[in-house]
Each structure stands twice: as structure tokens, then as C-alpha cells.
């Protein structure tokens, strides 16, 4: 069983702060890593993908991958109340199977 672990939260940060979301995965054969955002009652929407060790930045979002530690994280700078949602970490294994974590609920307080 491939496992993707996330702290369920809620993670509360004040508006303008940096939110740090973490994810660990069990299978070293995992190839691609994704962060999805899911608002309550809505479907997941892609924020970022990352494939190589290191950092990848896109606007206020930075994804970090460390394959040796089997760890992927998402940093959200200048957090806004509209960022309040559940953040899902997803890991692609064997080219066609995605495993999702249970999500971390983020609450950005005005």
C-alpha cells in the first residue's frame, strides 16, 4: 500500500504570513508530485507540480521536493483569506496511479 501522509490541521496563520504545508510519501519509486487545493464542496484544482529535487516557485507558491527524505512541501507566501482551503498532496506512482493524502486544512485569518 502506497501511503501519502499529511497533517490534517487545521493550520491557522494570520493574513500576510507564510503558510508551510508538509507531506511525506512511502514509495521511493514515486515519480511526480502535485499540490491540489480543494475548497469545501468543490473539486481539487492543481496548484503546482514538481518532479526534481529542489524548489519550484510560481508566484506566491513554492514547492519543495526532497526525494532522499521522501518529503514534499508547499510554502504559501503573503497568505490571503482566499487561500483558506484544504491542500491535498498527490504522488504519481507507476505512471498512472495517483495517491492522495487526506489533506491539510489551512485557515488564513484576516
Partner 1 sequence: GAGVSQSPRYKVAKRGQDVALRCDPISGHVSLFWYQQALGQGPEFLTYFQNEAQLDKSGLPSDRFFAERPEGSVSTLKIQRTQQEDSAVYLCASSDRTSGGRDTDTQYFGPGTRLTVL
Query: What residues line the site for partner 1 (CB under 8 A)?
Result: 4, 8, 31-32, 34, 36, 42-46, 49, 51, 88, 90, 92, 95-103
Angstrom distance (rounded) from CA 60 to CA 58: 6
Shortest spacing between CB 16 and partner 1, in angstroms: 28
- Residue 44: how many CA atoms within 13 Å on its side-chain side? 16
Shortest spacing between CB 40 and partner 1, in angstroms: 11
Q: Which is nearer to partner 1, 4 or 76 (CB)?
A: 4
Q: Return the closest-CA partner of residue 17 out of 70, 60, 67, 69.
A: 60
Amino acid at each position: 500500500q502506497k501511503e501519502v501522509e499529511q497533517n490534517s490541521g487545521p493550520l491557522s496563520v494570520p493574513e500576510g504570513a507564510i503558510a508551510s504545508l508538509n507531506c511525506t510519501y512511502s514509495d521511493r519509486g514515486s515519480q511526480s508530485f502535485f499540490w491540489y487545493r480543494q475548497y469545501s464542496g468543490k473539486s481539487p484544482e492543481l496548484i503546482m507540480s514538481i518532479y526534481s529535487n529542489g524548489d519550484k516557485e510560481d508566484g506566491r507558491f513554492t514547492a519543495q521536493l526532497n526525494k532522499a527524505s521522501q518529503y514534499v512541501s508547499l510554502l504559501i507566501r503573503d497568505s490571503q483569506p482566499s487561500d483558506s482551503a484544504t491542500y491535498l498532496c498527490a504522488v504519481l506512482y507507476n505512471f498512472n496511479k495517483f495517491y492522495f493524502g487526506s489533506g491539510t486544512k489551512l485557515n488564513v485569518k484576516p
